[in-house]
Amino acid sequence: MTKTISIHSFRGGTGKSNLTANIAALIALKGNRVGIIDTDIQSPGIHVLFALDEQDVEYTLNDYLWGYCNVEKTAYDVSPQIIKELKQNGVESNNLGAIYLIPSSIKAGEIAQILSEGYDVEMLKDGFDKLIERLQLDYLLIDTHPGLNEETLVSIGLSDLAIIIMRPDYQDYQGTAVTIEVAQELEVPSMFLIVNKVLDDFDFEALKEEVKVKYKIPVAGVLPLSNDIVRLASHSLFCLRFPDHPFTKEVEKIVQCIE
């Protein structure tokens, strides 16, 4: 059975794309076939983490939603990037299943067009199903735009698991409550929280407990604000580049909660 997982946050910049990419890579390295779909059609970005070059992208999610191509044409095999990252650390990628990325268009005109004209939501839903079937996916991860919009509601509605990410910031606290409420109304079968960008001098265990009590849902991880991640600057996949880093160790625990 394929597991569909959507990753959300009410506010922007919480670390959704970075975590989605790293979680996907770690899951694929356990022999799974993983798809990642960038439904952040207003401000796509996850392709950068996989070093997917604009010139190599013929069809995007936008093209599929406009009926220009089949959805599988929009899926790009990004395993060479994973293999390259591992090689840099002298590691063999013996157990890599497969990893595909479905990017959204990064062309200004195409973003403007889809935002102004909208698209057929049923087609997006159908696209998820077809990707799962035709790429024989074990996991489909959905990276989303912050806040609540059409894609967010559709992806929560279709997910087996919704992951909500927040920072320890009072603006995030309020918005997170709204996102959780919506996910509960949509009856997502499973949901957990991740707190990201936590300063080192915080008490991580106390924060985890506080958040768990406040929202009454499980907290799968509390991740540090890391200068090393800032320095890497979305240039590649942090967890593969720094396998022994405390951030990576925490992400590995989150992956165990997902499996």
Ligand X SMILES: Nc1ncnc2c1ncn2[C@@H]1O[C@H](COP(=O)(O)OP(=O)(O)OP(=O)(O)O)[C@@H](O)[C@H]1O
Q: Which stretch binds Mg ion (CB under 5 A): 37-45, 82-90, 165-173, 219-227?
A: 37-45
CB 217 to Mg ion: min, Å: 22
- Order of strands across the sheet with 190-198? 76-77, 98-102, 33-38, 139-143, 3-8, 161-166, 190-198, 219-224
Selection from Mg ion, ligand X, none that 168 binds (CB < 5 to 8 A by kind) is none
Query: What whole-number distance in Å separates Cα of residue 101 and Cα of residue 37?
Result: 6
CB 158 to ligand X: min, Å: 20
CB 23 to ligand X: min, Å: 11
CB 218 to ligand X: min, Å: 20
* Residue the block writes with tokens 């406040």: 214
- Does 159 contact Mg ion by CB under 5 A? no
Q: Which stretch binds Mg ion (CB under 5 A): 38-46, 49-57, 130-138, 240-248?
A: 38-46
In degrees, rounded to 5, the angle at the alpha carbon of residue 235 between the alpha carbons of residues 231 and 238 is 70
Query: What whole-number distance in Å separates Cα of residue 55 and Cα of residue 155?
Result: 28
- Does 17 contact Mg ion by CB under 5 A? yes
> What mask, x for binding Mg ion by CB under 5 A, covers residues 128 to 157?
------------------------------
CA distances from 110 to 62, 72, 159 (A): 7, 19, 27
DSSP H helix total and E strand total for the chain: 12, 8
User: CB–CB of 245/228 below 8 Å?
Assistant: yes
CB 92 to ligand X: min, Å: 27
User: CB–CB of 40/144 below 8 Å?
Assistant: yes
Selection from ligand X, Mg ion, none that 12 binds (CB < 5 to 8 A by kind) is ligand X
List contacts with ligand X (CB under 6 A): 9, 12-18, 40, 43, 45, 146, 196-197, 223, 225-226, 229-230, 234
Selection from Mg ion, ligand X, none that 179 binds (CB < 5 to 8 A by kind) is none
The secondary element (H helix, E strand) that includes residue 99 is: strand 98-102
The residue ranges that bind Mg ion (CB under 5 A) are 16-17, 45
